[in-house]
Amino acid sequence: MNKLNPHLSVDCVIFGVDNQRLRVLLVDRDTKGQPAETYDHNRLKLPGGLVFNNELLSDAATRVLEELSGMKKTTLYQFDVLDSLNRMGNEADRVWLEETTGLSIERVVSIAYYGIVESSVINSCNQNSHWVEMNQTHNLPFDHEDIIQGALTAIRQRFKRDGLIFGYLPEKFTINQLQNLISVFYDEEPDSRNFRKKIKKLDFIVALNEKQKNVAHKPAQLYRFDPDKFAQFSNNRIIF
């Protein structure tokens, strides 16, 4: 029972923002100790792998992500099922999978997850992890480039609506941090006066008795996200 199922895999698309750019986590295909400098993109892939027969898919995604990147406890959201018959269209990809798993691979259906991480996490991953700027993810194996595009589409539909956006921000954030994050994911640049008015009406964004410190400009008010109040909020509205 506790065997890898050669028909089921998971893939994870992890987004992070660094230097105002949207980035995606890729991992090295071979984890056998080349120095990081020799990595090239042909060796990079999405973190993913086969599922154990007695394992939930979401658990498999979390496990595989940690095994490959060192990232722990990441919240993941299922967004797609990849079942094309020529996912293994590139023979080299199939052979690689057979060699690394020791299994005979015919068809693999993959369940795709996305997640978002805070910028602090980006720097605490292991050396196999590479944060590649969105649209710079070329030459990936299998259908990984399609999966990334699908994840971005899915996230654009759910990021605001599901409150997922607050998972990326630090506990205490400024209104501008929130607004910048939206800009990165949606290529929008909302008017800051109108944006602030909207935010003030949302009772799940709570002002703290605290301001920024040591900044070379007027220090900004800090806020926190209240998930309970958010849950009560009349749902399925597009918020920002």
Partner DNA sequence: CCAAAAGTGTTCGTTCTACACCCATGT
Partner DNA sequence: ACATGGGTGTAGAACGAACACTTTTGG
CA dihedral 53, 54, 58, 61 (to 10 degrees): -60
Q: Is 33 left (phi over 0), alpha (psi -120 to 50) or beta?
A: left
Looking at the Cβ atoms of 214 and 234, the one nearer to a second copy is: 234
Does position 178 bind DNA by CB under 7 A? no
Give which of 157, 155, 136, 154 is closest to 145, Cα–Cα. Answer: 136
Does position 235 bind DNA by CB under 7 A? no
Nearest approach, Cβ of residue 107 and a second copy (Å) = 5
Distance CA 153, CA 190 (A): 20
Nearest approach, Cβ of residue 206 and DNA (Å) = 14
Does position 219 bind DNA by CB under 7 A? yes
What is the pairing mode between strands 4-18 and 109-117? Answer: parallel
Does position 220 bind DNA by CB under 7 A? yes
Nearest approach, Cβ of residue 85 and a second copy (Å) = 6
From DNA, a second copy, none, interface partner of 84 (C-beta below 5 to 8 A by class):
a second copy
Looking at the Cβ atoms of 59 and 226, the one nearer to a second copy is: 59
From a second copy, DNA, none, interface partner of 54 (C-beta below 5 to 8 A by class):
a second copy
Q: Which residue matches tokens 């999978």? A: 97
Does position 175 bind DNA by CB under 7 A? yes
Distance CA 226, CA 177 (A): 17
